[in-house]
Structure 1
Amino acid sequence: MTLHDILRLLDERGVQLGADAGELVVRGSRKALDAELVGLLRAHKPALLAHLTGTGPKDAQSPLTELTETELAAVAATIPDGARNLEDIYPLAPLQEGVFFHHLTAEQGDPYVISLGYAFDSRARLDAYLDAYQAVIDRHTILRTAVVREGLPEPHQVVWRTARLPVEEVPVGPGEDALTRLRERFDPRRHRIDLTKAPLLRVLVAEDRPADRWVMLLHLHHILGDHTTLDVIHREIAAHLRGTEDTLPSPRPFRDFVAQVRTGPGPAAHETFFTGMLKDIDEPTAPYGLLDAQGDGTTVREHRTLLDPAVAHTLRDAARKAGVGTAAVAHLAWAQVLARLTGRDDVVFGTVLFGRLQDGGAETGTAMGPFINTLPIRLTVDDTGVTKALRDTQGLLAELLRHEHASLALAQRCSSVPAPAPLFTSLLNYRHSGGSTATDQADVTVPGCRTLHGEERTSYPLTVSVDDLGDDFHLTVQAATPVDPARVCAYFATALTGLARALEAGGNQPVDSVDVLSVGEWGVVVGGGVGGVGGLGCVHEVFEGWVRAACDAVAVVDGGVRVSYGELNARANRVAH
């Protein structure tokens, strides 16, 4: 949530916020000040105090790096017009470091390129849109930023004074689909954006004569921004097209955020926290045995669904009464799924944290840049009651927020997992989407333009996103082949449903007894999927029923090896006798 979102939430609940002698003063009803809101206020106290007192980061324009003249000359040599076109230079933010690492290690393509497609009803509309986009680039430093590492002690982001949006017109042959042609011309699974050349965006356009329209495909590298960045870009484009750009707030340079991060808690504090959480974890949490956390996303498939509205309502109501937030429910539900998929009761996964409230309290809901970060969280799925487990989860998330600007590399080194094995290979992204999904947020609300396509990938082989729409929850699962994203999504939805019902029933049910398998899938597991095999029984009895009913059916798949029920039964008998 952005600072704007929290202030709006306080207003909606009739909660008054003030500052006195360096402390927050909060006035509101006990019902309004639930555990989730109190946790947000505690976690983001410095930012809220800065907002209330009108303070912010000090010395924002002071140098953030110490480079020699030789190193600065090497940077200038990478920029058109050299030093005259060099506006600023500073190190990468935490998320940028991780994204840049994955960019370097990807064998082909780039897993961190956001792809958006639009249709315009005329070339004039398209050209006006592109002109407005250039005006937005001119306003914001992050959109004129490149990344340079050659000849430097560490990678730096370099702000150009002038950076032109590259636009390529692609011819479309008879019978070809215009959008498909553009996607073939630049597919992030096979092509890469040169991070040394600002802006880190690419635009392809084509005339779609059969539909009497123009199609545009835009690629933006994730090292430039998060979903809020996309939202801000399109709001500003709409303002330029309406002629109301003079009403836009003054742009805030991303360097302010970098400065704040560098003056926050240091590596020692981060290391103490993550060592306490991870020091005895000595093997990866890798669902389905997926161990490649540096993939290029080429085999990733996606499934989206809306959580049953009745379940969503029950979940919100029960969580509120239990004094926990829905984000904590989502994290515990994903831990349940991981526990079943890995056969472990102690699991670690990545969670996406939104760093827009720790940068001095300015209105960062209108700022551009990759403020988010990915860090590990460790949860245990045991016989603890659901309510207590959720409160523990919420408490850990609040602690994690205090370290949201730590680097993922540092956090991983605090575990006992030997390099180069990953600490985790799945990711949960819980985000407040304000009534729209992530793709909808990027929509262009201007006449004559509509969204055709939206795609975002990561390097992780299994990613779950929860879009909190205010009333409903939109679930998205991206999974690397051969994992079925629809099945994983069903597990997650079932876990959310089970937790909601457990809370509604009092919250005493042990977490490890809450199911992740639907009734239909349980039927398949215990033998309801083949004629002649049904009902419950001991495992060996159910297995023997499958051998009799479907001897040649595949029972086990391991890579390219397939073993039938008959073959597996024969092997089991040889071992037994």
Structure 2
Amino acid sequence: MAKVNKKIENIYSLTPLQEGMLFHNIYDSKSTAYIMQIVLDIRNNFRYEYFGQALALIAEKHQTLRSMFVYENVNSPKQVILKEREIESEFIDLTNNDEEKRIEEYNQILKDDKNRGFNLQKDSLIRIKTIKLGEKSFKVILTAHHIITDGWSNAVLIKELFDIYDKLVDGTDLQDIANIIREEKASSADYGDYILWHEKQDKQGALDYWDKVLEGYEGSCDIAPLAKGEQTDEQMLEKSIAIKSEITAKLRDIAKKNDVTINTVAETAVGMLLRSYTRNDDVVYGKVVSGRNAHINGIERMVGLFINTVPLRMKVEENETIDDLLVKIQKQGNESSLYDYCSLAEIQSKTIQGPDLIKVIFIFENYSSGMKKSDIAQETETVSLEYSREQTNYGISIICYDEGDLRFNIMFDPAKYSDKEIDLILERIEKICEEISEKHDLRINETETVTNVEK
């Protein structure tokens, strides 16, 4: 620590989720869990020299991009913010190869960058590779460790990066842009303010609340695999299903009628899915929250790790209708939002299930959260999002995307679940959405959750 004191801007504690990710990194440094990767496809005369200048300004603006994590020879792990840190960046020209060789080498670079991982004490925790495939064909690969960013932050980062790049290409003076960024920094909070806010929250009050939510829960909620998965080098794969437009429209009408969000409808559908697999009227699963409900100036534009996972409990009573359940789940969500800063590890430590309390997690991504094509303001015919990768250490993660129509994705461990089994789970989600849209005023026990194929 003493050797770098003159280079340090600040030192913070870690949020509970960061502590969990750090532990996982120490425990299994070769795992690709928590490695995020984004690929942008660029179809114009890309000016890499301006892109490098934009990267330097982004690193100056967002302190979390200058983070290093110190955990050896200290009483507790610390997040150290360096005054200056260059984002690792590399330009690779593959145009001397034929087309087949270019694609092969590009795919290998993508794979190697993901598998390389990060040394949290030494590495730049975000790195950029720009691949030239043709005269006006480039790929920009952004690889980052989840410990410093999340989907919302990635969208902010990409937008700001290309805003600065476009200004430089258009001839705006570099120093003028730097001055504007410094003015913006001086008038808004940064990620360190969020950490300080987090430390001031009522930890015991939150734990008491979650104790009450989970009181009497003795079950185990998982989707048990029916057959062995396949041998593969991949630690996580993803499959999806789109909900028909007419079904999505009906679900929105039902949400409006019950004064609940479409997020709550999706949460309830996943709860009904788990109820059907476990054959239990009382299920608990993980719900990922944005973590941006803190009253901090400019939090919606900050880059950092804000998300958290908290329990969601769905207990179905005998004569309860789907409408009743939707209202109940919405009420629980409203109440829990006051305590969703609490550490999942600490919540679980007070239950009989311990770390096995949460086996499946649910994530809802709308227009303002996550990394999607609609999040890139500059997406045009020349710049587009080609690929976005996140990974968790859960066997199954269910993501619902609201981009007009609903779409459900499942990230899964292919060593545990087969493709066919995941297809069946997705089809069952689709069936449940149809049942909600048609039978929302009937008792839940009167709904059908098994598909015709499964029958």
Same fold, TM-score > 0.5, yes or no:
yes
Call closer, same or farther: CA 1:238–1:208 in 2, change over 3 Å: closer
Structure 1 residue 88: deviation in Å? 0.4
Corresponding residue number in structure 2 for 1:12:
none
Measure, in 2, the Cα distance between the counterparts of 1:207 and 1:107. 31
- Is the 8 Å Cα contact of residues 349 and 428 (structure 1) preserved in structure 2? yes
Give the TM-score taking structure 1 as reference length.
0.68
Which of the residues 333, 336, 342 maps onto 2:278?
A: 342
Structure 1 residue 494: deviation in Å? 1.9
Which of the residues 399, 404, 408 maps onto 2:344?
A: 408
Give the TM-score taking structure 2 as reference length.
0.86
Which of the residues 276, 293, 298 maps onto 1:363?
A: 298
Higher alpha-carbon Rg? 1
Structure 1 residue 281: deviation in Å? 3.1
- Is the 8 Å Cα contact of residues 223 and 278 (structure 2) preserved in structure 1? yes
Structure 1 residue 311: deviation in Å? 0.9
Cα deviation 1:131-173 (Å, max 9, x = unaligned): 2122111111111111111122222111011111112345756
1:283-362 to structure 2, matched below 5 A, reads 283-288=219-224, 298-358=234-294, 360-362=295-297
Q: Which amino acid aligns with 1:480?
A: D
Structure 1 residue 218: deviation in Å? 1.6
- Is the 8 Å Cα contact of residues 117 and 179 (structure 1) preserved in structure 2? no
- Is the 8 Å Cα contact of residues 278 and 414 (structure 1) preserved in structure 2? no
Structure 1 residue 198: deviation in Å? 5.3
Instruction: Determine whether 1:393 maps to 2:329.
Output: yes
Call closer, same or farther: CA 1:441–1:183 in 2, change over 3 Å: same
Corresponding residue number in structure 2 for 1:199:
124
Instruction: Determine whether 1:273 maps to 2:206.
Output: no
Corresponding residue number in structure 1 for 2:439:
502
Corresponding residue number in structure 2 for 1:423:
357
- Is the 8 Å Cα contact of residues 463 and 477 (structure 1) preserved in structure 2? yes
Q: Which runs of 5+ in 1 are unaligned?
A: 1-74, 291-295, 526-577
Cα deviation 1:202-245 (Å, max 9, x = unaligned): 22333324x75333322011111222211211221122123274
- Is the 8 Å Cα contact of residues 219 and 282 (structure 2) preserved in structure 1? no
Call closer, same or farther: CA 1:316–1:449 in 2, change over 3 Å: closer
Corresponding residue number in structure 1 for 2:194:
257
Instruction: Determine whether 1:487 maps to 2:409.
Output: no
Which of the residues 88, 113, 137 maps onto 1:166?
A: 88
1:130-279 to structure 2, matched below 5 A, reads 130-170=52-92, 172=94, 174=98, 175-176=100-101, 177=103, 178-187=105-114, 190-197=115-122, 199-209=124-134, 213-243=137-167, 245=177, 249-250=184-185, 252-266=189-203, 268-279=204-215
Instruction: Determine whether 1:473 maps to 2:410.
Output: no
Which of the residues 311, 329, 332 maps onto 1:376?
A: 311
Say which structure, 1 or 2, has more relative contact order (CA 8 Å, 6+ apart): 2
Structure 1 residue 514: deviation in Å? 2.3
Measure, in 1, the Cα distance between the counterparts of 2:370 and 2:124. 28
- Is the 8 Å Cα contact of residues 103 and 110 (structure 1) preserved in structure 2? no
Corresponding residue number in structure 2 for 1:105:
27
Cα deviation 1:55-92 (Å, max 9, x = unaligned): xxxxxxxxxxxxxxxxxxxx344xxxx11111100111
Structure 1 residue 314: deviation in Å? 0.8
Q: Which runs of 5+ in 2 are unaligned?
A: 227-231
Q: Which shows bigger deviation, 429-438 or 307-316?
A: 429-438
Structure 1 residue 452: deviation in Å? 2.9
Cα deviation 1:523-570 (Å, max 9, x = unaligned): x42xxxxxxxxxxxxxxxxxxxxxxxxxxxxxxxxxxxxxxxxxxxxx
Measure, in 1, the Cα distance between the counterparts of 2:89 and 2:33. 22
Measure, in 2, the Cα distance between the counterparts of 1:298 and 1:107. 16
Measure, in 1, the Cα distance between the counterparts of 2:131 and 2:360. 37
Measure, in 2, the Cα distance between the counterparts of 1:218 and 1:136. 14
Q: Which amino acid aligns with 1:134?
A: A
Measure, in 2, the Cα distance between the counterparts of 1:225 and 1:297. 26
Aligned positions, number: 427
Cα deviation 1:447-481 (Å, max 9, x = unaligned): 84333322111111111111223x42232111222
Counting aligned pairs with the same residue, the percent is: 19
